[in-house]
Structure 1
Amino acid sequence: MKLQKNGGGNAGFYQKLFALVLPIAFQQFMLTAVSASDALMLGFVSQDSLSAVSLAGQITFVFNLFMGGLTMGTSILAAQYYGKGDTLSIEKIFAYVTKVSFLISAVFFLASLFVPELLMRIFTPEPQLIAGGATYLRIVAASYLFTGISQIYLCILKNTGYAMKSMIIGSTAVVVNIFLNAALIYGLWFFPKMGIAGAALATSISKLLELAWAYVESLREKHVRLHVRFCFAVDKLLARDYWRYSLPMLGDYLVWGVGFTMYSVIMGHLGSDAVAANSIANIVKNLIVSFCTGLANGGGIIVGNELGMGDLKQAKKYGGLLWKMAIVSGIASGLLLVALSPLILKVTALSPQATEYLKWMLVLCACYMIAKSINMTTIAGIFPAGGDSKFGLICDTITMWAFAVPVGFLA
């Protein structure tokens, strides 16, 4: 969906925005739904199973931080070149980032396959949680290879006018994942009963499906394609531009995300009750904040398109409108979380102590939704689209590592 200059005023802006935001938000919601289904289904197996997979999932979380940094840099350049109508440059960036992403994915694959126990000991000293998490990581390792490539495909689709198709592919993979979760965890129909291993296998199979479909979609007429020759014949100017945008974004994702992972380390040393409650709270928060994520990503694409066409005035105007929308969506998200909290506490099969932890975690999550929405829209959407990807790195380094993580350990 290439934007036309001035796009019919505010009405045109909102039409363009929601055509991007809704598919991205729905896809984000569906991705979080996988974690929700893992937690809900494994919670009925045992609280230790839920806690083990929650901690093992932190490895996937860190992997997704790398993917987030890579795809954000890709989005910035792809949106700008798409605004200019320069398909060749998009294909060169596509190939280069796919190569980088595959190499990073291979590191996570090898570590999860061969030293999963070592990874689990980072988060917990409890033997039963280490054993369950290691089982999960060995099987889910293959999904890192598939995801590392499929996410770049889906990113290119979103930024070249096919956001809806990207949503359909990603969401279908999620539905398959949830179905296989139930079948393989509990042994439904003719499937074997595998417990934790079943949840991991479901993830790997669904990610393979996602990659295969994204590849086939890219072969269609007028779609940007992955050309192997561009993987090895690097355009040095494009690569330099890419890292100029991406390195600060990647650094920001890692500084924030690894700091956030430290919360799981803290919880892991407080016991299974704290881990289980934290797992549910994060899942609920991520489900509800999906629209804010879509607003940040969709808004960044639109601002990037306008800058690609050289219309700085219109890009600034759209940035102001996005900031106001972020406040509204943050308030709505917080109120929704408050309204759903009693239901969440009733349906989760947790111990009394874990339920008490969860109650207060949900209250605190609701309180910070407005700030979360504004920060995502500005730091992860508008600023990078305008070329400022360093502010987020500086901001998160100070807030996470000078305040949040030390205070978390002390508390």
Structure 2
Amino acid sequence: MKDKELYKKLFTIVAPIAFQYFMASLVSASDAFMLGFLDQDSLSASSLAGQVAFVFSLFFMAFISGCNVLGAQYWGKKDHKTVDKVLALTMRYSLLVGAVFTLGALIFPQYIMRIFTNDPELVRLGGVYLRTVALSYVLAGFSQAYFGIMKICDCAGLSSLIGSLSVVFNILMNWLLIFGVGPFPEMGIAGAALATVLARAFECVFILAVMLRGKCPPLRVGMMFVLKDSILHKDYIKYTAPILLNQLGWGGGVTMYSVIMGRLGSDAVAANSIASIVRCIIASLCWGIAAGVGIVLGGMLGRNETDEAKKAGGKFVRLSLIIGAGSGVVILALTPIILKVITLNPQAQYYLKYMMFMAAYYIIGNALNSTIIGGMFPAGGDTRFGMICDIVTLWCVVVPMGMIAAFWLKLPVLAVAFILTLDEFVKIPAVYKHYVKYKWVKNITR
């Protein structure tokens, strides 16, 4: 495949996925922006409570990644019946975990908030948010699992359309419910949570509508409860379990960042939440490329095009570095604008200025590692290395260093924040060494 054809195929997949990531990240931005007009505590509380949704996303992203590993290769092999089975398995586990998170947020919201902060007001506000947003977790379990299979089955544009319309609806409902516009009640932080629930319900209804019209792969409900293909089930668990452990290890480490920052004061939490939101918005293209790379390479490997996959992998690595560097420049360019638009306490503004600089260089390492660990390795079924690499980097190096710096050495907030941005760079040598061994280049279909 020529370079032009390869990049055209990649960006045909990447564009709608990246746009969907971008639109999804705008919801967090709108929450922060609108709640920031109310008070800084509401902004900080919603940011910390949002970590529950982040932890849940680690589960469904693992299930979707396992779906991508098998689904992309079977789709490339044109075995659509097996793809239907993979969707049923993915939906089974995604809905089950979503239900667990929904019940937890309904029953124990304030206990969950105390994991992230010891500030009584943040615990109270976060508890209100979690109880209101609880239903969104099980709804997201359905919609996100379906979005995953749609991207594999040449319906990435349709999934992007549904996700983007949902984001627009979410932002509109944020405005109406947070501030009480027109006939809507003024709900503050609870309004942001309710808007999220309504947006997830909007997604589910839209997906059911297009599915019933035959615009995307069907969901075989019976297979969710009884799937006789035990070999496929074992394969799914084999490739999903390491990804899930990787996601939980990595995500748990990232959540520990919030736990550490949450005990350094509301100013640190507010600044860190804004910097993280901006980084996520700009990183949308990087994550879209990682997802697209996994689908393109998975299809190649399913067709036994191993030499072509190796060559394409090298091109994708170079592309990720270029995209990462460009994304860092964009963050630096946006920093003065964000400092003027966002209203924070003077101390929080000071923290935010330098956290934006940290986000600018962090995104370069994130672009490279997400493409290789999250896209290329799983395309060939190599899901264990990423798990080991991320868990060791975070739990044996960066999180202990961050905790020592914050609670024992009591270093300044910005010094702690700097330490917490080292994880992407610590693992680059090991990631690249594993990449050039090409153990990930293999066909895993049966």
Normalising by structure 1, what TM-score? 0.97
Q: Quote the residue 2:57 is aligned against.
A: 64
Distance 2:12 2:211 in 1: 20
Match of 1:265 among 259, 268, 283: 259
Which range is displaced more, 110-119 or 220-229? 220-229
Give the secondary structure class of the aligned counterpart of 1:244: helix
Q: Quote the residue 2:441 is aligned against.
A: none
Which range is displaced more, 339-348 or 139-148? 339-348
Q: Quote the residue 1:329 is aligned against.
A: 323
Distance 2:340 2:399 in 1: 31
Q: Quote the residue 2:349 is aligned against.
A: 355
Match of 1:167 among 160, 170, 194: 160
Q: Quote the residue 1:114 is aligned against.
A: 107
- Equivalent residues, number: 404
Q: Does 1:241 align with 2:229?
A: no
> Per-residue displacement from partner, 1:223-245 (whole Å, max 9, x unpaired)?
32111121122221111111111
| Counterpart amino acid of residue 199 in structure 1 | A
Q: Quote the residue 1:47 is aligned against.
A: 40
Give the secondary structure class of the aligned counterpart of 1:73: helix
Match of 1:27 among 20, 28, 33: 20
Distance 2:65 2:5 in 1: 25
Q: Quote the residue 1:135 is aligned against.
A: 128
Q: Does 1:149 align with 2:142?
A: yes
Shift of the alpha carbon at 1:268?
1.1
Q: Quote the residue 1:367 is aligned against.
A: 361
Shift of the alpha carbon at 1:317?
1.5
- Runs (4+) of structure 1 exceeding 6 A deviation are none
The question of whether the paired residues in 2 share the 8 Å contact of 1:153 and 1:215 is answered with: no
The question of whether the paired residues in 2 share the 8 Å contact of 1:143 and 1:204 is answered with: yes
Shift of the alpha carbon at 1:123?
0.7
Q: Quote the residue 1:3 is aligned against.
A: none
Distance 2:221 2:329 in 1: 49
Match of 1:380 among 364, 374, 383: 374
Distance 1:215 1:37 in 2: 27
Q: Quote the residue 2:269 is aligned against.
A: 275
Distance 1:258 1:123 in 2: 12
| Counterpart amino acid of residue 232 in structure 2 | L
> Per-residue displacement from partner, 1:67-119 (whole Å, max 9, x unpaired)?
11111111111111110111111111111211111110111000000100000
Distance 2:366 2:214 in 1: 39
Distance 1:18 1:193 in 2: 42
| Counterpart amino acid of residue 180 in structure 1 | M
Match of 1:188 among 176, 181, 186: 181
| Counterpart amino acid of residue 288 in structure 1 | I
Distance 2:214 2:167 in 1: 26
Shift of the alpha carbon at 1:221?
3.1
Give the secondary structure class of the aligned counterpart of 1:379: helix
Q: Quote the residue 1:95 is aligned against.
A: 88
Shift of the alpha carbon at 1:66?
0.7
> Per-residue displacement from partner, 1:115-139 (whole Å, max 9, x unpaired)?
0000000011111101100000001
Distance 1:326 1:410 in 2: 33
Give the secondary structure class of the aligned counterpart of 2:134: helix
Distance 2:42 2:366 in 1: 30
Normalising by structure 2, what TM-score? 0.89
Distance 1:80 1:194 in 2: 47
Q: Quote the residue 1:83 is aligned against.
A: 76
Distance 1:153 1:240 in 2: 21
Shift of the alpha carbon at 1:222?
6.5
> Per-residue displacement from partner, 1:218-275 (whole Å, max 9, x unpaired)?
2233632111121122221111111111111111111111100001111111111111
| Counterpart amino acid of residue 182 in structure 1 | W
Q: Quote the residue 1:16 is aligned against.
A: 9
Shift of the alpha carbon at 1:387?
1.5
Q: List alignment gaps of at least 5 residues for structure 2.
A: 406-446
Shift of the alpha carbon at 1:190?
1.6
Give the secondary structure class of the aligned counterpart of 1:193: coil
Q: Aligned-pair RMSD on alpha carbons?
A: 0.9
Distance 1:227 1:396 in 2: 35
Distance 1:292 1:183 in 2: 32
The question of whether the paired residues in 2 share the 8 Å contact of 1:87 and 1:224 is answered with: no
> Per-residue displacement from partner, 1:42-82 (whole Å, max 9, x unpaired)?
00100000001011000011001111111111111111111
> Per-residue displacement from partner, 1:298-334 (whole Å, max 9, x unpaired)?
1110000111111111111211111010010011011
Instruction: Give percent identity, aligned residues only.
Output: 50
Distance 2:291 2:327 in 1: 17
Give the direction of change, closer, same or farther, for the CA distance of 1:165–1:401 in structure 2 (3 Å limit).
same
Q: List alignment gaps of at least 5 residues for structure 1.
A: 1-5
Distance 1:218 1:268 in 2: 42
